[in-house]
Structure 1
Amino acid sequence: MEKKWWHDKVAYQIYPKSFNDTNGDGIGDIRGIIEKLDYLKDLGIDIIWISPIYKSPFVDQGYDISDYYSIAEEFGTMEEFDELLVEVKKRDMYIVMDLVINHCSDKHIWFQKALEDPYGEYADYFYFRKGKDGNPPSNYRSYFGGSVWEPVKGTDLYYFHAFAKEQPDLNWNNPKVKDELYKMINWWLDKGLAGFRVDAIINVKKDLSFPSFAADGDDGLTSVTKMIDSTYGIGEVLEDLKKNTFEKYDAFTVAEVFNMKEDSLKEFIGENGHFSTMFDFSAHLLTNGEHGWYDSKPVEFENYRKATFDAQRKCNDIGFLANIIENHDEPRGASTYLPSYGQNDKGIKMLATVNILLRGIPFIYQGQEIGMRNCRMNNIKEYNDIGTVNEYDNALKAGFSKEEALEVCYHHSRDNARTPMQWSNSENAGFTTGTPWLKVNPNYICINVEDELNDENSVLNYYKKLISLRKSKEYKEVLTYGNFVAAYEDEDNIYSYYRKLDNKTVIVIANFGEEEAIIKLENKENKILLSNMDNITINNNNVKLESCGVVVLEIK
């Protein structure tokens, strides 16, 4: 494999609205990111991914962009962003921004012009189609619920939106649209971005006949993914995108990809793939219910191990995955992937260890490094996320009480990850001097950066040790390029794997069980590199793991 500058890096996602507010308006800002760069550097971060800060009406938290060339005033100015780029470069770090090019905002000038003339030039920047017998052109359900087709007033036309109706999909079959987008991408790369997190990119390829499918719900609709799954030719589109933009700058790209064809992995993230890496969502997919959040099941250990191990095996000889525990679109990993008895500091350290030492590029989401948890809301009005409100309504329609529907949201809402970052135990967790845009998790009193910095046994200081091990001179090569080899798969509740490269071997062993476990090591000479347990020893080639205990060993 050709070595790339990003292979040995550790990334950190900032959700700017909730990260750090410096002007007291209750919304995080660019100045707040600048203020915390030394904190991130000290943690061991190399790449900072910033969720959308472009001009937007914020119907979908900035993923509805109304001007790709402007910074939303809520976050600051372009001058402040340029200052951020300078400060990041001083610290030998990199900035990656969200690239949202499947759709834009209905307030974007292109769409406004399309509405002014629904049969004109700009209508072809989108998908305007005639209805059928007084009904929409086809029966797809959007990702946020309801039809993907929205009527265009005063006409018999509809426009297509895979997400909210305020997010019309861009027509990638129109060369003018592609040229405009490529120009914009290169403008940002010229400015000094290191690359992009590429949003919902699999959706850009459509079946232009928009055929209907058999309904999969009582609403008579079927998931829009049915159409996406039945479409071919995405590779040509993505290769054109890469060659006209990313490739020219040696840019780092991490793709959000769902519904990828089974045999397309090499095409997407192989040595000459469309992207540098893509997120591993295998664990998150286990949280899906058949009809929504309300009928999902808790994640069982065996399924979690199998899903993540299978993903690792598939990539061993192909490329790197971007490994995550959580992000802005998911609930907190500590509340999702750990058993109830493991939702504590020890369990969180264990989960961090098994994830961050996997083969691939680790992505840490803000607050993950201090062990932030899901936040219980008092009523649905305390939630801000459009998807959460839809899922709450779905649960009510399925016969759940308001209390039960709220409990569903507590376990699954995206707002769990969007509550303000917990910097201290002072008012509003030190996030703002004003009124925060979203409720602060009350547990900030005991879970916050300031307290954890001063506690050598804290989750935060453990994360520092873990990242330091991954990047250490002695182990960086094996923990970057070493193959993943599963271990002890026949042992209940044991999550274990080797990282092997040339004559160097490291093994990670974790006990997800409630009872202690004794593991017989295969080699006699072992060196303890890291553990979340006190006074761990190896006797007679056996290692004893407490409940939620983990150990990292070098095998001599």
Structure 2
Amino acid sequence: MKEWQKETVYQIYPRSFQDSNGDGIGDINGIISRLDYLQKLGIGLIWLTPMYVSPGNDNGYDIADYYQIDPVFGTMAEFENLLNQAHERGIKIIMDMVVNHTSDQNRWFQEALKSKDNPYHDYYIWRDPVDGHEPNNWVSKFSGSAWKYVPELDQYYLHLYDVTQPDLNWRNEKVRAEIFKMLKFWANKGIDGFRLDVINNISKDKNLPNDTFKTPLDDGRNFYTNGPHVHEYLHEMYEEVFGPNNFVTVGELSSTPISEAVKYTNPKRQELSMAFTFHHVKVDYTGGKKWTLGHYKLTDLTRILSEWQVKMGAQGGWNALFWDNHDQPRAISRFTDDGKYRDQSAKLLAMVEFGLQGTPYIYQGDEIAMKNAYFTDISQYNDHESINAYHALIKSGVSKDEAIKILQQKSRENSRLPMQWDSSKNYGFTTGQPWLKPIHHDDYSVETVLKKKSNVFNFYRALIFMRKNKQVLTDGAYKLLDSHDNSVYSYERFDDKGKILVMANFTGETQERKVADGFNLILGNYDNIELNNGTVTLRPYESIMLENK
């Protein structure tokens, strides 16, 4: 068992974490100033979203220079100080890395634009027009065609994401050599691993065929997700970089079935440590479509989580456990109640996550029950994906009010609000104007939450401690207790030494459920628990963790 399998990862979105110089954007020195806070929380690793030089069209996931820290976040010397300061506190650092595409401002792409004969031209995926149109019918994740025409070259380049993010050609050995060289540069800085953005998209079908559009998912992904050489490329990365440096790695694997996720994460294959998959956070996509006012059924959510628990565990794969991140709205607003039962809801989600098998991730603010932004006008959004989706909705006939309600529910901007540290102006995030400004007053901050007797922060601390000290939570088997229960999620983790039972009421109504003899409470999200004669009464959004030795 690897040490990171017992640890908890804390995700920092640097732009929104802590500003140290008053420019309204979080930075490296701001992160350093909060390391004692993270050490107190008990986390073992920090995942930093990109801080490389970037024009910022996709919040840093469009990298213009892989070797430099963007001045908006600080200097390389400050980054090295962050590494040292974190390591002194026993905290490892995982950097976010994007190798499916670069920014169109990257030197490689600027060279590629000069001519078809330029050595860098083949660093990207180019095709000639077909009958005067795009080479195929693939759709960009950011809406519209996945191809951009360059008149000077009379060619199109592929961009699965924003038009300013051309896809790299991984079939070119020179591209792979450049990528490995760059990864080694950061390894030599002393980092501890990588989170690899959209890594399962790096290998495309060389024929780039049209997709069928029989379902909403037939948008081209059938020919680039988990493509023909992706495992080969990842194993090469492992041999070159990950293995020799004993790295912790997590791959973002959207639209990936369990059978493939096992391949990515089974240690015998030497590819990745663990997998981010997204089936459970698409449970409220109506007809598979994200930009809808969605509603979810608990039975669908528990079925998906359970399938991944059972099958990944049985086949040697490893899950990265999460509810939200910089690309997802806040789970507390999405799956539970961020109003009357806000504290209970935050604790319930934490307990359900930490009871599962895998490595748990906390997204900044989860530990103080931060909620969605609830912006009321499109002008308040910065995110290209959300803005594009809004205009596409309006064009399709959706009213402005409904389009905004959809964004309030689904936009990733919801989780990008600056961290709420105290009750001063801008919640102590900045002395200047924050890059993304909240519109509602919220009395939840680190300062106010820590003053509460039974607070969310300390609940997370208890769960983090438990993960490190209860072996059954690391390698015990998993069992869903009632697949038809649409109100209470009940599951067991067990080994030959005993069982842990988690029960979580996902409703605003009181629920009663039977509990087998011999179980004793080890943690609950209410101050006292009602357990009588084998029956437990679960109040609104109540969750309990019981143990039977």
| Fold shared, TM-score > 0.5 on shorter chain | yes
Q: Is the 8 A contact 1:26 1:435 kept in 2?
A: yes
Residue 519 of structure 1 and its aligned partner are, at CA, apart by: 2.3
CA deviations 1:160-187 (Å, max 9, x no partner) are 1111111111110111110010011111
For residues 520-539 of structure 1, the aligned pairs below 5 Å read 520-523=514-517, 525-539=518-532
Please state if 1:104 is matched with 2:106: no
Give 1:357's match in structure 2, choosing from 349, 355, 364: 355
Q: Is the 8 A contact 2:104 2:164 kept in 1?
A: yes
Give 2:120's match in structure 1, choosing from 119, 122, 126: 122
Q: Is the 8 A contact 2:254 2:277 kept in 1?
A: no
Tell me the TM-score normalised to structure 2 length.
0.96
Letter in 1 for 2:172: N
Letter in 2 for 1:321: N
CA distance in 1, matches of 2:283, 2:221: 17
Residue 503 of structure 1 and its aligned partner are, at CA, apart by: 0.9
Residue 136 of structure 1 and its aligned partner are, at CA, apart by: 1.3
Residue 423 of structure 1: aligned partner? 421
Of 143-152 and 272-281, more deviation after overlay is shown by 272-281
For residues 12-161 of structure 1, the aligned pairs below 5 Å read 12-161=10-159
Letter in 1 for 2:446: V
CA deviations 1:329-372 (Å, max 9, x no partner) are 00000011115787521122112111122111000000111111
Please state if 1:540 is matched with 2:533: yes
CA distance in 1, matches of 2:117, 2:373: 47
Residue 504 of structure 1: aligned partner? 498
Q: Is the 8 A contact 1:131 1:157 kept in 2?
A: yes
Q: Is the 8 A contact 2:201 2:225 kept in 1?
A: no
Residue 427 of structure 1 and its aligned partner are, at CA, apart by: 0.4
- The SS at the match of 2:353 is helix
Residue 278 of structure 1: aligned partner? 275
Structure 1 residues 533 and 367: alpha-carbon distance in aligned structure 2, compared to 1, 3 A threshold: same
Of 160-169 and 75-84, more deviation after overlay is shown by 160-169
Residue 315 of structure 1: aligned partner? 312
Residue 461 of structure 1 and its aligned partner are, at CA, apart by: 2.3
Question: Which 4+ residue blocks in structure 1 deviate beyond 6 angstroms?
Answer: none
Residue 290 of structure 1 and its aligned partner are, at CA, apart by: 4.1
Specify every segment of 5 or more residues in structure 1 that has no aligned partner in the other structure, as ranges.
Answer: none
Residue 465 of structure 1: aligned partner? 462
Structure 1 residues 122 and 508: alpha-carbon distance in aligned structure 2, compared to 1, 3 A threshold: same
CA distance in 1, matches of 2:182, 2:521: 49
- The SS at the match of 2:170 is coil
- The SS at the match of 1:287 is coil
CA distance in 2, matches of 1:488, 1:282: 20
Residue 254 of structure 1: aligned partner? 250
CA distance in 1, matches of 2:262, 2:227: 19
- The SS at the match of 2:94 is strand
Q: Is the 8 A contact 2:324 2:331 kept in 1?
A: yes
Residue 441 of structure 1 and its aligned partner are, at CA, apart by: 5.1
CA distance in 1, matches of 2:245, 2:48: 19
Give 2:235's match in structure 1, choosing from 229, 233, 239: 239
Residue 397 of structure 1 and its aligned partner are, at CA, apart by: 1.7
Using the aligned pairs only, state the percent identity. Answer: 39
- The SS at the match of 2:467 is helix
Specify every segment of 5 or more residues in structure 2 that has no aligned partner in the other structure, as ranges.
Answer: none
Structure 1 residues 71 and 38: alpha-carbon distance in aligned structure 2, compared to 1, 3 A threshold: same
For residues 437-452 of structure 1, the aligned pairs below 5 Å read 437-440=435-438, 442-444=440-442, 446-452=443-449
Residue 216 of structure 1 and its aligned partner are, at CA, apart by: 6.1
Q: Is the 8 A contact 1:429 1:440 kept in 2?
A: no
CA distance in 2, matches of 1:377, 1:23: 26
CA distance in 1, matches of 2:189, 2:203: 29
Residue 18 of structure 1 and its aligned partner are, at CA, apart by: 0.3
Of 451-460 and 536-545, more deviation after overlay is shown by 536-545
Residue 288 of structure 1 and its aligned partner are, at CA, apart by: 2.7
CA deviations 1:354-400 (Å, max 9, x no partner) are 11221110000001111111112131011000000111012112211
Please state if 1:551 is matched with 2:544: yes
Residue 488 of structure 1 and its aligned partner are, at CA, apart by: 3.5
Structure 1 residues 478 and 103: alpha-carbon distance in aligned structure 2, compared to 1, 3 A threshold: same
- The SS at the match of 1:138 is coil
- The SS at the match of 1:331 is coil
Residue 300 of structure 1: aligned partner? 297
Residue 215 of structure 1 and its aligned partner are, at CA, apart by: 4.6
Q: Is the 8 A contact 1:419 1:441 kept in 2?
A: no
The number of residues matched between the two structures is 547
Of 111-120 and 50-59, more deviation after overlay is shown by 111-120
Residue 490 of structure 1 and its aligned partner are, at CA, apart by: 4.4
Please state if 1:387 is matched with 2:385: yes
Please state if 1:189 is matched with 2:187: yes
Residue 508 of structure 2: aligned partner? 514
CA RMSD of aligned residues (A): 1.9
Letter in 1 for 2:479: V
Structure 1 residues 361 and 448: alpha-carbon distance in aligned structure 2, compared to 1, 3 A threshold: same
Residue 331 of structure 2: aligned partner? 333
Tell me the TM-score normalised to structure 1 length.
0.95
CA deviations 1:256-302 (Å, max 9, x no partner) are 00233553233111132411001132211213344744435212212
Residue 455 of structure 1: aligned partner? 452
- The SS at the match of 1:316 is helix
CA distance in 1, matches of 2:235, 2:134: 32
- The SS at the match of 1:442 is coil
Of 506-515 and 82-91, more deviation after overlay is shown by 506-515
Residue 211 of structure 2: aligned partner? 213
Residue 160 of structure 2: aligned partner? 162
Residue 102 of structure 1 and its aligned partner are, at CA, apart by: 0.4
Residue 414 of structure 1 and its aligned partner are, at CA, apart by: 0.7
Q: Is the 8 A contact 1:162 1:224 kept in 2?
A: no
Residue 231 of structure 1 and its aligned partner are, at CA, apart by: 4.0
- The SS at the match of 1:423 is coil
Residue 230 of structure 1 and its aligned partner are, at CA, apart by: 8.6
- The SS at the match of 1:351 is helix
CA deviations 1:115-150 (Å, max 9, x no partner) are 112332110011121111111111111110111111
CA distance in 2, matches of 1:342, 1:214: 46
